[in-house]
Amino acid sequence: MSKGIVSINAENIMPVIKQWLYSDKDIFVRELISNGCDAIRKYRWLVSNNQAEGDDAPDRIDVIADREKGTLTFIDNGIGMTEEEIVKYIAQVAFSGASDFITKYTEQSKGEGAGIIGHFGLGFYSAFMVSDKVVIDSKSYTDAPAVRWTSEDGMEYEIEPSDRTERGTAITLYIDEEDKDFLNLWTVRSTLEKHCAFMPVPIFVSEVAKPEEPKEGEEPKKAPEPQQINDTHPLWMKRPNECTDEDYKAFYRKVFNDFEEPLFWIHLNAEYPFNLKGILYFPRIKNEFTASEGVIKLYSNQVFVADNIKEVIPEFLLLLKGCVDCPDLPLNVSRSFLQNDGYVKKMAAYITRKVADRLVSEFNTKREDYQRYWDDIHPFVKYGCIKDEKFYERVKPALIYKTTSGEYVTLDEYINKNCDTDETKTVYYASDEKRQAQMIRLYNDQGKDVILLDTLIDNNFISFLEYTERDGKVSFKRVDAAADSLTEAGEVSEDARKKLEGLFRKAMADEQVEVQLKPFKDDGLIAMITVDEQNRRFTEMSSRWGGPDMKLPEKRTLVLNDKHPLVKWLQAAEDDAHTETVCAQVADLAEMARQPLVADRMVDFLKRSNELLTQLIEK
């Protein structure tokens, strides 16, 4: 037996490891399994290059929990280690990097760099986060004798002969009192499924159960067989032409526990200039996209790294679900946070480009299907356009808009049908199809389509389009934003307009309201209220992000139909109580055409309506 001390030029390595990884203890499972996979892969490489003799034993890693002994054991049948290799690779802790590790991570605050395992050769030492003692039994693929390495603190160790007879390594953790939950088979299994569900070597999990005494006449019960918990060849590792639609749907249900089918998916498969594979799914996002977040799982060589890493997956794509495997990722110490370098940016740009290209392809080749799920995905697409200019430029041909008649049109299709060629291109839209039904009908009667823009992102999106598209010659106006399209050219009396403005300001108790007098194309319409488009957008944005106290007054205009008999009557009427009642009624009817009356205004309207009906009967 020999003894030694881990060579790292620092005596406080284990307290630092435990401090930095306190909130992420289950990471030790991933690290020990990864080491086992590496050992098996190295052995297979030696065999394939005729540097080692192969055998018929299938590759496997076993994880065995023993509550009675308080141990959790990780066993692989990989390359194994000699005594010299254990001293070199275990006892010296990646010698050259350990001092750098101590210097770098003890100077940082606990919150900034949580998770140090995965670098400087410290992966194995994560075992001490949950253990009072760790024992390694290893038998090399060579003829060297088996060796046992034992340590209680990760610093001092003993090496002695081992009774292991099979090639490979067994790492036995004597779990400390605080972490006994890791001896629970359910905990072990769920941790393995979290980190190792798609590792390339079969992983079996079992527990050593205390045998039950058989009843008289019964045969002893057999111990449960170990269960394999991982899929060694996940769908993203296959070629797209090897996968069926049902394969994709089944994988989606299995990984994300979502039994609502995805709309469609993208199979990523890049080998140059970087290695990247994966599958991204478009779930049904609906209109509440701001409260939605998908899950994009990042893997490195089929080893789970983390969910939703924004350096690799652009923020707007995190509304999707999927798995992305990047074997060459430049990971830092935790394997969970990426260095924000050019390599990573190129991968993010590739993923963004593939998503945009798939959307355009769906639009071009399956437009009917694309239109069917546009209502589900359009908030995500619009958000992506605003966040990433390159994404917008690529996906622009596939941007469509739903009209109030149920058709789906591109911006160019709308403009070509509804706008004159030389004037500013105005796109009319509704934000609430039911409340704005009368205004929509007025535009439809004039042969103009109205598109629906009724999600939270639409105000920002149309402002983005106005800024980006057609050199400022395209504008979006809500159906209650202007009356120009609904009126005719013609002279009106300025004196009549001023008189009516005075009457309505008094009746509405609003000295700021502007009154216009115009001949309407619809002879039956008495009046309408318009709200300046830009002013309303700014008001809504201030109210949404600044709260009720930030709500600004709207710039409102009452537009009266100079051709209507009632308006003609008001132009000649005396300024008395009866005229004021009529003006108030006209103003409320115009307001109700764009939004419901509220509180006292609704009470006054109903009372006034009853009085007018009573007067009508009396006459």
Instruction: Kindly list the structural domains of the chain, giving each domain's residue range(s) and its CATH number in brackets, ordered by start.
Output: 2-209 (3.30.565.10), 235-365 (3.30.230.80), 485-618 (1.20.120.790)
Helix and strand counts by DSSP (H, E) for the chain: 17, 22
Over residues 156-178, the mean pLDDT reads 94
pLDDT digits (tens, 9 = 90+) for 586-599: 999 998 888 888 88
Closest CA to 176 of 293, 14, 47: 14
Q: What is the pLDDT of residue 225?
A: 85
pLDDT digits (tens, 9 = 90+) for 370-407: 999 898 889 889 999 999 999 999 999 999 999 999 99
Q: What is the pLDDT of residue 290?
A: 45
Above pLDDT 90, what percent of the chain? Answer: 42
Q: What is the pLDDT of residue 334?
A: 43
Tell me: pLDDT of 230 over 90.
Answer: yes
Q: What is the pLDDT of residue 112?
A: 38
pLDDT digits (tens, 9 = 90+) for 246-265: 999 999 999 998 888 898 99
Over residues 279-299, the mean pLDDT reads 73
pLDDT digits (tens, 9 = 90+) for 61-84: 999 999 999 999 999 999 999 999
Over residues 436-446, the mean pLDDT reads 89
Closest CA to 296 of 327, 277, 275, 317: 317
Higher pLDDT, 356 or 97: 356
pLDDT digits (tens, 9 = 90+) for 450-459: 999 998 889 8
Residue with tokens 């779990």: 175
Burial class (CB in 10 A: 0-12, 13-18, 19+), 475: middle
Q: What is the pLDDT of residue 545?
A: 62
Q: What is the distance between the alpha carbons of residues 586 and 592, in angstroms, rounded to a whole number?
A: 10
Calculate the CA 527 to chain-centre distance: 46
Over residues 335-341, the mean pLDDT reads 48
Give the model's confidence band at 95: pLDDT under 50 very low, under 70 low, under 90 confident, else very high: very low
Residue with tokens 């280690």: 81
Tell me: pLDDT of 97 over 80.
Answer: no
Tell me: pLDDT of 569 over 50.
Answer: yes
The encoded tokens of residue 223 equal: 């111990």
Q: What is the pLDDT of residue 116?
A: 37
Q: What is the pLDDT of residue 474?
A: 84
What is the DSSP secondary-structure string of 252-316? HHHHH---SPPSEEEEEEE-SSS-EEEEEEE----S-GGG----EEEEETTEEEEE--TTTS-GG
The encoded tokens of residue 432 equal: 């609430």
Over residues 15-32, the mean pLDDT reads 69
The encoded tokens of residue 228 equal: 């394999």
Q: What is the pLDDT of residue 129?
A: 87
Q: What is the pLDDT of residue 92?
A: 64
Closest CA to 317 of 389, 383, 397, 386: 383
Average pLDDT value over all residues in the chain: 83
CB crowding 114-135: b at 16 or more within 10 Å, else e: bbbbbbbbbbbbbbbbbbebbb
Tell me: pLDDT of 133 over 90.
Answer: yes
Residue 26 gets which letter from DSSP? Answer: T
Which residues have a Cβ under 8 Å from the Cβ of 329 and sit 6 or more positions away? Answer: 298, 300, 305, 312, 338, 344
Q: What is the distance between the alpha carbons of residues 462 and 476, in angstroms, rounded to a whole number?
A: 7
Q: What is the pLDDT of residue 538?
A: 82
Give the model's confidence band at 547: pLDDT under 50 very low, under 70 low, under 90 confident, else very high: low
User: Under a CB-based contact definition with an 8 Å cutoff, are residues 394 and 356 in contact?
Assistant: yes
Least confident of 84-88, 92-96, 323-327, 381-385: 92-96
User: Under a CB-based contact definition with an 8 Å cutoff, are residues 354 and 340 in contact?
Assistant: no
Over residues 188-198, the mean pLDDT reads 92
Q: What is the distance between the alpha carbons of residues 65 and 177, in angstroms, rounded to a whole number?
A: 15
Burial class (CB in 10 A: 0-12, 13-18, 19+), 603: exposed
pLDDT digits (tens, 9 = 90+) for 117-129: 333 345 788 888 8
- Torsion angle defined by CA atoms of residues 430, 432, 435 and 440, in that order, rounded to the nearest 10 degrees: 20
Closest CA to 296 of 287, 286, 306, 285: 306
For residue 528, the cross-strand partners are 559
Q: What is the pLDDT of residue 82?
A: 93
Closest CA to 430 of 446, 448, 453: 453
Tell me: pLDDT of 430 over 80.
Answer: yes
Tell me: pLDDT of 111 over 70.
Answer: no
Closest CA to 81 of 27, 42, 125: 42
- Alpha-carbon distance values, 150 to 38, 154, 166 (Å): 22, 9, 19
Give the model's confidence band at 548: pLDDT under 50 very low, under 70 low, under 90 confident, else very high: low
Residue with tokens 């409340």: 435
What is the DSSP secondary-structure string of 312-328? TS-GGGGGSEEEEE-TT
Q: Which of 174-188, 283-297, 336-350 holds the top average pLDDT?
A: 174-188
Residue with tokens 């789906």: 408
Over residues 319-329, the mean pLDDT reads 86
Tell me: pLDDT of 114 over 60.
Answer: no
Tell me: pLDDT of 331 over 60.
Answer: no
Q: What is the distance between the alpha carbons of residues 501 and 556, in angstroms, rounded to a whole number?
A: 13
